[in-house]
Amino acid sequence: MIKTILGIAVLIFCLITLPSAEITACTSLLVTKGASADGSVMITYTCDGEFHPHLEFTPAADHNPGDSIEITSWGGKILGKVAQVPHTYSVVGMMNEHQLAISETTFDGREELENKDGLLEYWDLISLALQRTRTARDAIHVIADLVDTYGYRSTGETFSLADINEAWIMEMIGPGPAGKGMEWVALRIPDGYMASHANKSRIAEFPLDDTANCLYSKNVISFAVEKGYFEPKSGEPFRYCDAYCPDTPQNRRYADTRVWSIFRHAAPSQNFSSNYNRYIKGSQPYPLWIKPDKKLSVADIFALMRDHYEGTPLDMTKGVDAGPFGSTLRCRPMTWVVDSVEYGWERSISTPQTAFSFVSQSRANLPDAVGGVFWYGLDDTYTSCYVPLYCGINSIPLSYTVGTLRKFSWESAWWIFNLVANYAQLKYSYMIPEILSVQKEIEGNFLSTQSEIEKTAVALAKNDPYLMTRYLTDYSISHAEQVVNRWRELAMYLIAKYNDGYVQDSTGRARELGYPDDWLKEVVKSRPNRFQLVPK
């Protein structure tokens, strides 16, 4: 029997069909047990690109000897087959029933190392690893073994992997056309620390004799020497990122700025400078991991994923480019040319071009079905609302599984969140506080009642595991749909209140509020005689 992967690999990762400039557009952070407020291991993901995601649930299954999985192209062409294993685990989004979660960011790196003769793309590897393994360490081995057997098709990639005890960062790149395997390294984040990556290789030096904390391919250094990416006689230590993802002004600005901002929030006492991401001569790279100033809660992680560099010289709510109402929207493309000089917008962590994001929670002190929470959000992280989906559920909310980018639908959760986010652009500084107020209330309620929900689920598990599954499934689905309903109401409220440039007051009367004085001064400055009512 042949079986085809129908999980996250098909719809969640349709990002790959977009132009390459939009593919490398994701942000992830990793938090270890000792760095989290409740002992969770957490990772995050913003999957950024213009597409309509469908949340997927893959049930656990047993398979017969000889079963295999068809690997297909986006056009449906069968590229090859992967041998199936006797049993596969259930997966909700990008987290499996044993609390293993995996996310990624693409760094491209040495484009000549892409091997189009390989069978497996990075999304295939994530899907297969989630279905086949229980721990981050095992997932790393499975990913490496699959590539050795079937070949790697993608460009440079960084994975975040989390289980109930550990968080790992893994970086990999192909061997070039017709090559074998891949060149990779994986490091365990020390307990009590956190890390981040954003479309640029982050692993520099690594130990060669510490298998408890570091795993790597046998040719990772010799291959770089062979290709001329590293000269052993230089006297310099081998650095994976320098060999396989050379540093440039563009990738510093595009990727390192996001890492810097996450670190500045998590550890303000360390005074991380923006000099490195601005390519200032003599500045030092940001460390792979840091110790946060305080242990981070789930709410803290939500906040880290909602950043536009506010309060810094890079603040995207300020300046003429933010428009009259401080909008953070910067329409693509990211770069443009004026009078033969190239310019570029800032690339923030939170962006209107996000399709979906998640924060995963893996906890060793609870049964797997209860300890693993896949906090899932649609569209822009700043205006979205994270809903808790427990990894032990056996169904998912319908509104998160339907819809297409081609046609707006009130039945699609993504379109509802997208509508609110886009409408807010008309009067951003006015509408954003109202949206964030609803967001804060709902997410706050989820977090404040989480322990009681889980206490009930654990009690049910002792006597009737099936009833526990039903309880968690009903809770996850009903509350996710309630959030979508609330966002529908919010959309209709905003459309009525902010209409034709007016703002309704509490009585429903339209009020003229005009534009901020600073912006009006910019208008006059740009065309001093155009709007003057009485000529001098």
User: What tens digit of pLDDT does each residue of 142-171 get?
Assistant: 999 999 999 999 999 999 999 999 999 999
How does pLDDT run across 220-237, given as a tens digit for each residue?
999 999 999 999 999 999
395 and 338 in a single domain? The answer is no
How does pLDDT run across 454-475, given as a tens digit for each residue?
999 999 999 999 999 999 999 9
For residue 100, is pLDDT > 80?
A: yes
What single-letter amino acid sits at 331? C
- Residue 323 neighbours by CB distance under 10 Å: 17
274 and 160 in a single domain? The answer is yes
Residue finishing a domain among 344, 369, 392: 344
pLDDT of 20 = 37
pLDDT of 73 = 82
476 and 330 in a single domain? The answer is no
What single-letter amino acid sits at 39? G
Q: Model pTM? A: 0.95
184 and 51 in a single domain? The answer is yes
* Structural domain range at position 395: 381-511
Mean residue pLDDT of the chain comes to: 94
262 and 397 in a single domain? The answer is no
For residue 11, is pLDDT > 90?
A: no
**Structure tokens of 254?**
């595009």
387 and 336 in a single domain? The answer is no
**Interior/surface letters 394-430, b for 16+ CB within 10 angstroms, e for the rest:** bebbebbbebeeeeeeeebbbbbbbbbbebbebbbeb
390 and 462 in a single domain? The answer is yes
Task: Please calculate the CA angle 226-23-303 and round it to the nearest 5 degrees.
Answer: 110
pLDDT of 320 = 94
Residue 502 lies in a domain: yes
CA atoms of 491 and 505, how far apart (whole Å): 17
Residue 393 lies in a domain: yes
What is the Cα Rg of the chain in Å? 24
CA atoms of 180 and 174, how far apart (whole Å): 8
pLDDT of 536 = 72
Q: Contact at 8 Å (CB) between 43 and 360?
A: yes
CA atoms of 331 and 239, how far apart (whole Å): 35
What single-letter amino acid sits at 218? K
Residue 366 lies in a domain: no
pLDDT of 512 = 96
CA atoms of 332 and 22, how far apart (whole Å): 9
Residue 458 lies in a domain: yes
338 and 401 in a single domain? The answer is no
Q: Contact at 8 Å (CB) between 63 and 369?
A: no
Beta strands in 65-200 (DSSP E): 68-72, 78-83, 87-88, 91-92, 95-96, 101-108, 156-162, 167-173, 183-188, 194-197
For residue 56, is pLDDT > 70?
A: yes
Residue finishing a domain among 319, 344, 369: 344
Residue 516 lies in a domain: no
What single-letter amino acid sits at 499? N
pLDDT of 24 = 54
CA atoms of 252 and 278, how far apart (whole Å): 7
Residue 530 lies in a domain: no
Residue finishing a domain among 344, 373, 407: 344
For residue 71, is pLDDT > 90?
A: yes
pLDDT of 7 = 37
Number of domains, the chain: 2
CA atoms of 461 and 472, how far apart (whole Å): 11
